[in-house]
Amino acid sequence: MAGSVNKVILVGNLGKDPEIRRTQDGRPIANLSVATSESWRDKATGERKEKTEWHRVVIFNEGLCKVAEQYLKKGAKVYIEGQLQTRKWTDQSGVEKYSTEVVLQGFNSNLTMLDGRSGGGGGNFGSDDSGSDFGSSGPSSAAPRRAVAAAGARNSDMDDDIPF
């Protein structure tokens, strides 16, 4: 079908450090566990309640994987924009299971840090995925500010000098 939209927007915190693995042909995939919560006062009892929802986030976008690996840690607050995707798999005992994930892949994905942990500051990272030196970045001591610049470079087609 055409003419459809599938978009998820989350603002939440990482429940643990990102997990990065690689496909057989070397592409990185990052998995995030993101919590969102709501709190409200129960109408009947008056007591305060809170409910936390955990989201499984999967990043296929190379540039965003790099960001996740270098800058995100357990507890980090992030803005995430991706798509809903349900995957079918079979567990070790042969039972079919379904897993619904928020997938960041291709255009219209976004990952933005919203807190300035570890001396850095939030960074906005698009999804052009043209940067591909993931894994070759040497000593990952790069300062956040350079990272922002590098990420910005990937999106350099966004904004440059349009005369009109």
Partner DNA sequence: TTTT
Q: Which stretch binds DNA (CB under 7 A): 61-69, 71-79, 90-98, 126-134?
A: 71-79
Q: Which does 153 bind (CB under 5 to 8 A by kind): a copy of itself, DNA, none?
A: a copy of itself
Q: Which does 137 bind (CB under 5 to 8 A by kind): a copy of itself, DNA, none?
A: none
If the CB atoms of residues 82 and 129 are measured against DNA, the closer one turns out to be: 82
- The answer to whether residue 126 forms part of the interface with a copy of itself (CB under 8 A) is yes
Q: Which of residues 73-112 bind a copy of itself (CB under 8 A)?
A: 77, 79, 81, 83-86, 95, 97-100, 102, 105-110, 112
* Cα separation, 101 vs 57, whole angstroms: 6
- The answer to whether residue 116 forms part of the interface with DNA (CB under 7 A) is yes
Evaluate whether 65 touches 20 at the Cβ level (below 8 Å). Answer: yes
Q: Binding residues for DNA, how many (CB under 7 A)?
A: 24
In the set 17, 20, 117, 122, which binds a copy of itself (CB under 8 A)? 122
Closest CA to 128 of 156, 101, 100: 156
| Token duo for residue 82 | 């991706």
Evaluate whether 114 touches 11 at the Cβ level (below 8 Å). Answer: yes
Q: Which stretch binds DNA (CB under 7 A): 21-29, 30-38, 90-98, 130-138?
A: 30-38
Angle of helix 62-71 relative to helix 144-154, nearest 10 degrees, comes to 170
| 110-113/77-90 β-pairing | antiparallel
Using the CB atoms, write b or e for 2-28: b if 16+ within 10 Å: eeeeeebebebbbeeebebeeeeeeeb
- The answer to whether residue 67 forms part of the interface with a copy of itself (CB under 8 A) is no
In the set 14, 32, 104, 128, which binds a copy of itself (CB under 8 A)? 128
Residues in Cβ contact with 14 at an 8 Å cutoff, skipping those fewer than 6 apart: 32, 33, 34, 35, 72, 73, 74, 75, 76, 78
> For binding to DNA (CB under 7 A), which residues are involved?
1-3, 12-16, 33, 35, 37, 39, 50, 52, 54, 74-75, 77, 116, 120-122, 144-145
